[in-house]
C-alpha cells in the first residue's frame, strides 16, 4: 500500500463489503433448518411416532436420524424383540425401562443439538439406536 488515501479506500470498501455480505447472507437463510446436511431419510417432523426397531440389542438398518425443530413434540416408538434394561436419551436424560415392547417416548424438544438415543442391554453394554437432532 503506497498512499494513505489508497489504504483508507481499501479499508472502507472492505467494511462496506462485510456489512453488505452479512445483511445479504443473514436475511436469506434465517429459516434455514441448520446446515448443508438438511434432512436425512427416515426423519419426520410430522405427527405419528417414528418407529425404531431394535433386534437383539442392535438397531435394525443402522442408526437412523430423527430430526425435529425446537419446540416440537418428540414422538418415538422403540420396538424391541428381546427385553433390554432401558432406553436412554442423552442430553435430555430421559430413561425408560425396556423390558416390554414397545417403549414410547414423548417429550417436548426443549434443547437444540444432537443427542444420542441408546439401548442399555441387560448384559450391561450399550448401543446407539438413533440420533435425535433438534434444529434451533
Partner 1 sequence: MVAAGSAAALVLPDVASAHALVGRKDLPVPAWLFAWGASLVLIVSFALLSVAWTKARLQRENWKPVPGGLSRAALNPVTEVVCGLIGVGLFVVVLYAGFRGIEDPTQNFSIVFVFYTFWLGLVVLSVLLGDVFRAFNPWRALGRLVSGGFRLVAGQSAPVPLRYPDRLGRWPAVLGVLLFVWLELIAAGGASPTPHDVAVGTVIYSVITFVCMALFGVEEWIARGETFSAYFGMFARLGPFEARGRELGVRKFLTGPAQWAAVPGAAALVLVSIAVTSFDGAQEGALSGAIRWTFERCNDIGFSLPNSFRVANTIWLLIVFGGVSLLYWLGVKGMHTVRGSPPVRELSRSFAHTLIPIALAYLVAHYFSAFLYQEQAQFTYILSDPLGHGSDLFGTAGGGINYGIVSSNAVWYVQVAALVIGHVIALTLAHDRALGVYDKVRNASRSQYFMLAVMVAFTCFGLFLLSQANA
Q: Which residues of the chain form contacts with partner 1 (CB under 8 A)?
A: 1, 6-11, 14-15, 17-18, 21-22, 25-26, 28-29, 32, 34-37, 58-59, 62-63, 90-93, 110-116, 118, 125-128, 133, 135-136
CA–CA gap between residue 61 and residue 55 (Å, rounded): 10
Q: Which is nearer to partner 1, 1 or 81 (CB)?
A: 1
Backbone angles phi, psi at 74, to 5 degrees: -75, 130
Backbone angles phi, psi at 29, to 5 degrees: -130, 30
Q: In sequence order, what are the beta bridge partners of 74?
A: 107
Q: Which is nearer to partner 1, 4 or 47 (CB)?
A: 4
Q: Minimal distance in Å, beta carbon 103 to partner 1?
A: 17
Q: Minimal distance in Å, beta carbon 100 to partner 1?
A: 23
Q: Which is nearer to partner 1, 18 or 99 (CB)?
A: 18
Strands in 103-108's sheet, in edge-to-edge order, are: 58-59, 50-55, 73-80, 103-108
Amino acid at each position: 500500500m503506497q498512499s494513505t488515501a489508497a489504504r483508507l479506500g481499501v479499508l472502507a470498501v472492505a467494511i462496506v463489503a462485510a456489512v453488505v455480505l452479512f445483511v445479504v447472507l443473514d436475511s436469506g437463510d434465517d429459516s434455514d433448518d441448520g446446515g448443508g446436511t438438511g434432512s436425512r431419510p427416515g426423519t419426520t417432523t410430522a405427527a405419528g411416532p417414528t418407529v425404531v426397531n431394535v433386534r437383539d440389542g442392535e438397531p435394525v438398518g443402522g442408526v437412523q436420524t430423527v430430526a425435529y425443530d425446537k419446540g416440537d413434540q418428540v414422538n418415538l416408538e422403540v420396538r424391541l424383540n428381546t427385553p433390554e434394561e432401558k432406553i436412554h436419551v442423552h442430553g435430555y436424560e430421559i430413561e425408560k425401562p425396556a423390558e416390554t415392547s414397545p417403549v414410547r417416548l414423548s417429550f417436548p424438544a426443549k434443547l437444540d443439538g444432537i443427542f444420542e438415543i441408546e439401548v442399555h442391554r441387560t448384559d450391561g453394554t450399550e448401543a446407539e439406536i438413533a440420533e435425535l437432532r433438534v434444529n434451533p
